[in-house]
Chains A and B, each alone.
Chain A
Amino acid sequence: MLWNRLSKRLKRRSLLAPTAISIALLTGCAGTPSHVVNLEQSLTDEYEPLKEEVWAEQQADIVHDELVSRGLLLNAFSPEVSYLREMKSHLMAGSGYGDQIQVYLVRAADPNAFALPNGNIYIHSGLFTSLDDPNQLAAVLAHEVSHVVQRHGLKSVIAQKNALVGAHVADLLTGGLGLVYWGTVASIMNYSREQELEADRDAVELLKQSGYPSSAAISALEAIFEHPLNKHGEKSIYNSHPHFDDRVAALRPLSAASNEGVSGPEDAQYRSIREQMVELNLKLHLRHRQFVLAETIVRDNLGGVLSESQQAMTFSAIKLGVAKYPEDAAKEQHWLDTGKMRAPKALIEQFESATDDNLDQAIQMYREIIDSPRAPVPVAAHKKLAEAYELRGFLSEAAVSYQQYLAQAPEAKDRRFVEYRLQQIQTK
């Protein structure tokens, strides 16, 4: 009888009142983001950490351990990571608590960075592809430093917890249909957008204090949003951030003042590091069958970061990759064009029908690299040529190329792989 009365009431009245009351009751009982103090205040002897804080830091430590165990973090003693840590120290020189924040470099080709509640900041190698100079890198790092200092991660955990509890109750009241979750998700994202705008504002201040041009905050955003992954706005994985136009509009008045004309540090070291990271990012893109993204990097050539030989090798690898994995190539093309994951059959067939042409082009390109009078010839060109020959059915040519590779790279880590391929050809 109780449930019958409830269901009739639900039909007659708006759901907003009971939902709102339930959420208010539940969230009122829990901690709120406004209870969270900033990093500096949390370091005093009198401070008692919230239980959500302890939990969030534990979870962040688990994430870090996971990144380490998967080999996704570059060595802490590498020049690239040392460079980032020096930059962080410079940004936080006036704070007195810079050692509470650690910076790591992640093997990931998308232009991203994130901060965790345990004070760790992770910069993706993909950022180096997008960012033209060290000032822009400093702007991104300053933005992430603000997330840690303002403890946005912890505030989000608390906000999400409260919102989800409310959503669960509302979901029950609406018959378990999940209808209330959409509004809740939107409210969490709005909260996150406020934090992003705050981090942008803080970043400008940090840049000014540290002698970096504050205009780098805007130019960094422009550089990142030019990336093909950010093409689809609402469909993009970067949708939790405020819209690009809103962020730039908020930043313009802040960065226009005072320190124009400051150029920032010398960029020779940045250029060298960028070269290494771009090479890494290209390998990652090719391994993940992201051929259009790889080609975008090579075509832009980022102020001459890549040598002629690197460009040629990458173009050839893209041709070979598209020939080997036409379905993945079609899916990537379709996703970048439309934001949709499922490529139409016609597009897949179009890529599949071009396989032989792509292989022939790859063979020609690798032959040109090997026959080029400009030394040195990348040893890998022999192996890749062999692969292209093998896929095309030119087995004797493939065998010759594999043998040339083994002769020139006797200590190669993939020696057994190549020996196996050679054996397979020779037994056919």
Chain B
Amino acid sequence: MKIGMIALAVVLIGCITGCTNTTAREHVTLEDQLKRIESVVLLPVDVKIELVTLTGENERLVEREAELAVKLTDIVNASLTEHGFTTVPSDFTETVDDEVDVAYAITQIREGFDQVKKDIDFGRVLPKSKINKMKVTVGEAANIVQSVSGTDAIMMVNYAGFDKSGGHVAKDLATGVLVGVLTMGAVVPVAPKSGAMIEMALIDGASGELLWVNSGGGYLNEKLATHVLKKFPQDVDE
């Protein structure tokens, strides 16, 4: 009975901590920061989907990338509005073509983000009590983008996915069967046919500091964005 109660307690604790653990991170003074943030511009969503083939002719699925980019843009902009922010349409497509500086500034923001990931244990699941200590900056390039858009903050979304060709799926299947037979059924590897990862970051346009970030992995579709945005903060009025 005592062991049963202990086991039950362990299970319950596991459930509770599992519910409050998260991959999201928040600025150490998020609430104060959000008081200054009214408007947000979404950078061109960076989508990469690769078709992995048996012949090694891996290729980018550019049409699928474009379709998904539109869907992700709509989902993120809608979420920003729902959370109380004003979204400003970005004319970065034209700007990127005419003013290389802005395109390069956006690249620098992405590079700056990659550089600070290790400082915030990005992607790791942490208890909620440990996620609100973030104070890192992607750098001054955020100012260039902010000066073009006129917004208080910048939203960045990176999405990377893969899809396997029929030949590759068949090869995975054959390998799985072979390994399963050779191990007498002890190991039957099942390789996924497709998958995706998404990263999101809300960035202060003045300081370049990360206000909120989150990431997630799952199926190759736009629903991943909805899932990750569940942890997005509500805007705070001054």
Contacts and interface: CB of A to CB of B under 8 A. Distances in A.
B54 A168 contact: yes
B13 interface: no
Contacts of B207: 417, 420-421
Interface in B55-73: 55-57, 59-60, 62
Nearest to B48: A66
Interface in A160-199: 160-161, 163-165, 168, 171-172, 175-176
B225 interface: no
A171 B178 CA distance: 11
Nearest to A161: B55
Nearest to A421: B207
B221 interface: no
A345 interface: no
Interface stretch (B20-28, B78-86, B103-111): B103-111
A416 B146 contact: yes
A289 B115 contact: yes
Nearest to A171: B175
Most buried by B among A107, A157, A289, A413: A413
A175 B178 contact: yes
Interface stretch (B94-102, B124-132, B210-218): B94-102
Of the four ranges (under 10, 10 to 19, 20 to 34, 35 or more), the interface on chain A belongs to: 35 or more
A5 to B, nearest CB: 12
B55 A413 contact: no
Contacts of A288: 111
Contacts, number: 92
Contacts of B101: 71
Most buried by B among A52, A161, A163, A414: A414
A3 B59 contact: no
A110 to B, nearest CB: 15
B12 interface: no
Nearest to A61: B62
B8 interface: no
Interface stretch (B137-145, B156-164, B228-236): B137-145
Nearest to B59: A59
B205 A416 contact: yes
Contacts of B57: 52, 55, 157, 161
B178 A176 contact: yes
Nearest to B182: A175
B226 interface: no
Contacts of A95: none
B107 A70 contact: yes
Nearest to B209: A420
Contacts of B181: 3
Nearest to A163: B56
B174 interface: yes
B143 A417 contact: yes
Interface string B179-221: 1011000000100000000000000111110000000000000
B147 interface: yes
Nearest to B101: A71
A43 interface: no
B171 interface: yes
B111 A175 contact: no
Given A7-B182, A420-B207, A413 B144 contact: yes
A172 B182 contact: no
Most buried by A among B97, B142, B143: B143
A62 interface: yes
A415 B147 CA distance: 10
A75 interface: yes
A287 interface: yes
Interface in A121-180: 157, 160-161, 163-165, 168, 171-172, 175-176
Contacts of B54: 164-165, 168
A71 B178 contact: no
Given A172-B178, A175-B178, A175-B179, A71 B96 contact: yes
27 contacts: A55-B59, A58-B59, A70-B103, A70-B104, A71-B104, A72-B104, A74-B100, A75-B100, A107-B104, A160-B56, A161-B55, A163-B56, A164-B54, A164-B55, A165-B54, A165-B55, A168-B171, A172-B178, A176-B189, A288-B111, A413-B140, A413-B144, A414-B144, A415-B143, A416-B206, A417-B143, A421-B207
Given A7-B182, A62-B62, 16 more contacts: A3-B181, A3-B182, A69-B103, A70-B103, A70-B107, A71-B96, A71-B102, A71-B105, A71-B106, A163-B56, A165-B56, A414-B140, A415-B143, A416-B147, A416-B205, A420-B204
What 6 A-B pairs have minimum CB-CB distances, sorted nearest first? A71-B103, A71-B104, A164-B56, A176-B175, A416-B206, A414-B140
